Amino acid sequence: MKTFLQILILFVSVSIFGQTSNKFGYQAVVRDALNGLLQNHNLKVRASILIGNNAVYSEVHLPKTNDNGLFNLQVGGGVAESGNFSNIDWSQGNLFLKIETDILNGWGYSIVSNTELLNVPFANYADKARELSNPAATISGLYKGIYNSSLPSNIYYMIIQYLSPKKIKCDIFYSQNISTGAYSQDIISMIGDVENVNNYSAKNIWFNIVLSSNANPTWIPSQLQPNVFEGSKITFFGSSGSSVIFDKIE
Protein backbone atom coordinates (compact mmCIF):
# COMPACT_ATOMS: atom_id res chain seq x y z
CA MET A 1 0.00 0.00 0.00
CA LYS A 2 2.88 2.38 0.70
CA THR A 3 4.15 2.01 -2.91
CA PHE A 4 0.64 2.68 -4.23
CA LEU A 5 0.42 5.95 -2.25
CA GLN A 6 3.79 7.14 -3.48
CA ILE A 7 2.82 6.47 -7.10
CA LEU A 8 -0.42 8.40 -6.71
CA ILE A 9 1.49 11.54 -5.81
CA LEU A 10 2.89 11.62 -9.33
CA PHE A 11 -0.48 11.49 -11.05
CA VAL A 12 -2.58 14.36 -9.81
CA SER A 13 -3.75 16.95 -12.32
CA VAL A 14 -5.24 20.20 -11.11
CA SER A 15 -7.55 22.82 -12.52
CA ILE A 16 -8.62 26.02 -10.76
CA PHE A 17 -11.49 27.63 -12.62
CA GLY A 18 -13.40 30.89 -12.58
CA GLN A 19 -15.59 31.86 -9.67
CA THR A 20 -18.75 33.92 -9.33
CA SER A 21 -19.03 33.98 -5.53
CA ASN A 22 -16.74 34.14 -2.52
CA LYS A 23 -15.85 30.49 -3.10
CA PHE A 24 -13.77 29.22 -5.98
CA GLY A 25 -13.59 25.82 -7.60
CA TYR A 26 -10.92 23.17 -7.57
CA GLN A 27 -10.71 19.95 -9.61
CA ALA A 28 -8.27 17.05 -9.49
CA VAL A 29 -7.97 13.78 -11.40
CA VAL A 30 -6.31 10.88 -9.56
CA ARG A 31 -4.59 8.08 -11.52
CA ASP A 32 -2.55 5.04 -10.60
CA ALA A 33 0.88 3.95 -11.89
CA LEU A 34 -0.68 2.37 -15.00
CA ASN A 35 -2.51 5.62 -15.75
CA GLY A 36 -5.75 4.06 -14.61
CA LEU A 37 -8.37 6.25 -12.97
CA LEU A 38 -9.17 6.01 -9.26
CA GLN A 39 -12.92 5.78 -9.79
CA ASN A 40 -15.82 6.31 -7.37
CA HIS A 41 -13.50 6.58 -4.41
CA ASN A 42 -14.11 8.47 -1.15
CA LEU A 43 -11.41 10.97 -0.24
CA LYS A 44 -10.52 13.36 2.53
CA VAL A 45 -9.05 16.60 1.20
CA ARG A 46 -7.54 19.53 3.06
CA ALA A 47 -7.35 22.82 1.16
CA SER A 48 -5.11 25.58 2.51
CA ILE A 49 -4.42 29.12 1.35
CA LEU A 50 -0.78 30.09 1.79
CA ILE A 51 0.82 33.51 1.63
CA GLY A 52 4.40 32.57 0.91
CA ASN A 53 5.04 29.56 3.11
CA ASN A 54 2.53 30.53 5.79
CA ALA A 55 -0.94 28.97 5.85
CA VAL A 56 -3.50 31.67 6.62
CA TYR A 57 -6.54 29.42 6.17
CA SER A 58 -7.31 25.69 5.90
CA GLU A 59 -10.46 23.63 5.54
CA VAL A 60 -11.47 19.99 5.02
CA HIS A 61 -13.69 18.39 2.36
CA LEU A 62 -14.95 14.82 1.87
CA PRO A 63 -15.40 14.50 -1.90
CA LYS A 64 -15.79 11.36 -4.02
CA THR A 65 -14.21 10.76 -7.40
CA ASN A 66 -16.53 10.05 -10.32
CA ASP A 67 -16.23 7.51 -13.16
CA ASN A 68 -13.46 9.65 -14.65
CA GLY A 69 -11.44 9.77 -11.43
CA LEU A 70 -12.36 13.43 -11.03
CA PHE A 71 -13.38 15.18 -7.84
CA ASN A 72 -14.60 18.74 -7.40
CA LEU A 73 -14.77 21.01 -4.41
CA GLN A 74 -15.43 24.65 -3.63
CA VAL A 75 -12.57 26.28 -1.73
CA GLY A 76 -14.17 28.44 0.90
CA GLY A 77 -17.06 26.03 1.37
CA GLY A 78 -15.41 23.32 3.46
CA VAL A 79 -15.22 22.78 7.22
CA ALA A 80 -12.74 25.35 8.50
CA GLU A 81 -9.78 24.06 10.51
CA SER A 82 -7.92 27.32 10.99
CA GLY A 83 -8.22 30.95 9.94
CA ASN A 84 -11.15 32.78 8.39
CA PHE A 85 -11.70 32.62 4.63
CA SER A 86 -13.40 36.03 4.52
CA ASN A 87 -10.36 37.67 6.17
CA ILE A 88 -7.82 36.59 3.55
CA ASP A 89 -6.04 39.54 1.95
CA TRP A 90 -6.15 38.56 -1.72
CA SER A 91 -4.25 41.71 -2.72
CA GLN A 92 -0.95 40.62 -1.19
CA GLY A 93 0.23 38.36 -3.99
CA ASN A 94 2.52 35.34 -3.50
CA LEU A 95 -0.63 33.27 -2.86
CA PHE A 96 -0.69 29.49 -3.13
CA LEU A 97 -3.36 26.81 -2.88
CA LYS A 98 -2.11 23.72 -1.06
CA ILE A 99 -4.11 20.53 -1.48
CA GLU A 100 -3.51 17.49 0.73
CA THR A 101 -5.39 14.29 -0.09
CA ASP A 102 -6.03 11.24 2.08
CA ILE A 103 -7.24 8.45 -0.20
CA LEU A 104 -7.92 6.16 2.76
CA ASN A 105 -9.97 8.82 4.59
CA GLY A 106 -8.34 8.59 7.97
CA TRP A 107 -4.84 7.25 7.38
CA GLY A 108 -3.20 10.62 6.85
CA TYR A 109 -2.60 12.98 3.96
CA SER A 110 -0.27 11.46 1.38
CA ILE A 111 -0.88 13.34 -1.87
CA VAL A 112 0.23 16.96 -1.70
CA SER A 113 0.15 19.62 -4.40
CA ASN A 114 0.88 23.35 -4.34
CA THR A 115 -0.54 25.67 -6.99
CA GLU A 116 0.31 29.35 -7.24
CA LEU A 117 -2.80 31.51 -7.50
CA LEU A 118 -1.73 33.78 -10.34
CA ASN A 119 -5.31 34.91 -10.83
CA VAL A 120 -6.67 35.59 -7.37
CA PRO A 121 -10.35 34.87 -6.65
CA PHE A 122 -11.79 38.02 -8.21
CA ALA A 123 -15.04 38.06 -6.25
CA ASN A 124 -13.14 37.90 -2.95
CA TYR A 125 -10.69 40.59 -4.02
CA ALA A 126 -13.56 42.80 -5.18
CA ASP A 127 -15.42 42.34 -1.89
CA LYS A 128 -12.35 43.29 0.13
CA ALA A 129 -11.66 46.30 -2.11
CA ARG A 130 -15.27 47.39 -1.77
CA GLU A 131 -15.01 47.25 2.03
CA LEU A 132 -11.81 49.27 2.02
CA SER A 133 -13.29 51.97 -0.21
CA ASN A 134 -16.80 51.93 1.24
CA PRO A 135 -16.73 51.09 4.97
CA ALA A 136 -19.97 52.98 5.66
CA ALA A 137 -21.93 50.59 3.45
CA THR A 138 -20.36 47.63 5.24
CA ILE A 139 -21.71 48.55 8.67
CA SER A 140 -25.05 50.09 7.63
CA GLY A 141 -28.07 48.21 8.97
CA LEU A 142 -30.16 47.45 12.04
CA TYR A 143 -28.55 46.52 15.36
CA LYS A 144 -29.85 45.34 18.72
CA GLY A 145 -28.04 45.94 21.99
CA ILE A 146 -28.48 45.36 25.71
CA TYR A 147 -27.22 47.73 28.37
CA ASN A 148 -25.62 45.74 31.20
CA SER A 149 -24.80 47.17 34.59
CA SER A 150 -25.96 46.73 38.19
CA LEU A 151 -29.30 48.08 37.01
CA PRO A 152 -31.92 46.08 35.09
CA SER A 153 -30.90 45.49 31.50
CA ASN A 154 -32.42 47.70 28.84
CA ILE A 155 -32.79 46.78 25.16
CA TYR A 156 -31.82 49.34 22.53
CA TYR A 157 -32.01 49.42 18.77
CA MET A 158 -29.64 51.27 16.49
CA ILE A 159 -30.07 52.12 12.83
CA ILE A 160 -26.92 53.01 10.90
CA GLN A 161 -27.80 54.72 7.66
CA TYR A 162 -25.38 55.00 4.74
CA LEU A 163 -24.81 58.58 3.60
CA SER A 164 -21.58 58.27 1.59
CA PRO A 165 -18.67 55.79 1.43
CA LYS A 166 -17.18 57.08 4.71
CA LYS A 167 -20.10 58.87 6.32
CA ILE A 168 -23.02 57.44 8.30
CA LYS A 169 -26.02 58.61 10.28
CA CYS A 170 -26.46 56.76 13.56
CA ASP A 171 -29.82 56.70 15.41
CA ILE A 172 -30.35 54.92 18.72
CA PHE A 173 -33.83 54.08 20.00
CA TYR A 174 -35.00 52.81 23.38
CA SER A 175 -37.49 50.22 22.10
CA GLN A 176 -39.39 48.76 19.16
CA ASN A 177 -43.14 48.22 18.84
CA ILE A 178 -43.36 44.56 17.87
CA SER A 179 -46.84 44.83 16.34
CA THR A 180 -46.12 47.87 14.17
CA GLY A 181 -42.37 47.57 13.76
CA ALA A 182 -41.97 51.24 14.66
CA TYR A 183 -39.18 52.47 16.91
CA SER A 184 -39.43 54.86 19.83
CA GLN A 185 -38.25 58.42 19.54
CA ASP A 186 -34.51 58.83 19.03
CA ILE A 187 -32.41 58.81 22.18
CA ILE A 188 -29.59 60.25 20.17
CA SER A 189 -28.88 60.90 16.50
CA MET A 190 -25.52 61.86 15.03
CA ILE A 191 -23.72 62.01 11.70
CA GLY A 192 -20.10 60.95 11.65
CA ASP A 193 -17.18 59.70 9.59
CA VAL A 194 -16.17 56.05 9.45
CA GLU A 195 -12.61 54.84 8.93
CA ASN A 196 -10.91 51.45 8.73
CA VAL A 197 -12.73 48.25 7.82
CA ASN A 198 -11.49 45.63 10.26
CA ASN A 199 -11.55 47.72 13.42
CA TYR A 200 -13.76 50.67 12.70
CA SER A 201 -13.20 54.01 14.29
CA ALA A 202 -16.07 56.44 13.97
CA LYS A 203 -15.18 60.07 14.38
CA ASN A 204 -18.08 62.13 15.72
CA ILE A 205 -20.08 58.95 16.40
CA TRP A 206 -18.80 58.60 19.94
CA PHE A 207 -21.34 58.44 22.76
CA ASN A 208 -21.01 58.39 26.50
CA ILE A 209 -23.53 56.44 28.59
CA VAL A 210 -24.46 58.23 31.81
CA LEU A 211 -26.79 56.98 34.54
CA SER A 212 -29.73 59.28 35.17
CA SER A 213 -31.92 59.62 38.26
CA ASN A 214 -34.62 57.33 36.86
CA ALA A 215 -32.11 54.47 36.62
CA ASN A 216 -32.07 54.51 32.81
CA PRO A 217 -28.84 55.29 31.01
CA THR A 218 -28.67 58.56 29.13
CA TRP A 219 -26.75 58.87 25.87
CA ILE A 220 -24.80 62.06 25.27
CA PRO A 221 -22.35 63.01 22.48
CA SER A 222 -18.76 62.63 23.58
CA GLN A 223 -15.34 62.89 21.98
CA LEU A 224 -13.83 61.06 24.96
CA GLN A 225 -15.09 57.53 24.35
CA PRO A 226 -13.34 55.51 21.59
CA ASN A 227 -16.16 53.22 20.50
CA VAL A 228 -15.21 50.08 18.60
CA PHE A 229 -16.77 48.81 15.36
CA GLU A 230 -15.80 45.18 14.67
CA GLY A 231 -17.58 43.41 11.82
CA SER A 232 -21.20 42.91 12.82
CA LYS A 233 -20.59 43.93 16.44
CA ILE A 234 -20.33 47.49 17.79
CA THR A 235 -19.41 48.44 21.34
CA PHE A 236 -20.19 51.80 22.94
CA PHE A 237 -18.30 52.47 26.16
CA GLY A 238 -19.92 54.41 28.98
CA SER A 239 -19.20 55.90 32.35
CA SER A 240 -17.97 53.75 35.24
CA GLY A 241 -17.01 50.93 32.92
CA SER A 242 -20.53 50.42 31.55
CA SER A 243 -21.04 49.54 27.91
CA VAL A 244 -23.60 48.55 25.31
CA ILE A 245 -22.72 45.89 22.75
CA PHE A 246 -24.83 45.96 19.59
CA ASP A 247 -25.15 42.97 17.26
CA LYS A 248 -26.24 43.42 13.65
CA ILE A 249 -29.61 41.76 13.06
CA GLU A 250 -30.42 43.04 9.54
Residue scoring higher pLDDT (205 or 109): 109
Summarised one tens digit per residue, pLDDT across range 107-154 is 778 777 888 876 655 455 555 555 555 666 667 788 888 766 555 557
24 in Cβ contact with 16 (< 8 Å): yes
Please, which pLDDT band fits residue 81 given cuts at 50, 70 and 90? very high
Find the distance separating the first CA and the last CA of the chain, reported in whole Å. 54
Where in the chain are the domains? 2-120, 135-248
For the cut 90, the answer to whether the pLDDT of residue 2 exceeds it is: no
Q: What's the pLDDT at 175?
A: 76
Q: What is the pLDDT of residue 48?
A: 92
Instruction: Enter the pTM of the model.
Output: 0.47
The CB density around residue 9, as the number of other CB atoms within 10 Å, is 12
Provide the pLDDT for residue 104.
Answer: 75
**Per-residue pLDDT at 173 exceeds 70:** yes
Dump the DSSP string for 8-48. Answer: HHT-EEEEEE--SSS-EEEEEEEB-TTS-B--S-B-EEEEE
Average the pLDDT over 188-215 and give the result.
53
Q: What is the pLDDT of residues 59-69, one digit of tens each?
A: 999 999 888 88
| pLDDT tens readout for residues 19-75 | 444 677 888 887 766 777 888 988 889 999 988 888 999 999 999 988 888 888 888
**How high is the pLDDT of residue 10?**
35
**CATH number for the segment(s) 2-120:** 2.60.40
Categorize the per-residue pLDDT at 237 as very low, low, confident or very high, splitting at 50, 70 and 90: low
Q: Which CATH number is 135-248 given?
A: 2.40.128
Residue 222 pLDDT more than 60? no
8-14: long-range contacts, CB 8 A cutoff, minimum separation 24: 8/32, 8/38, 8/103, 8/110, 8/111, 9/110, 9/111, 9/112, 11/35, 12/101, 12/111, 12/113, 14/99, 14/113, 14/115
| Domains 2-120 and 135-248 alike in fold | no
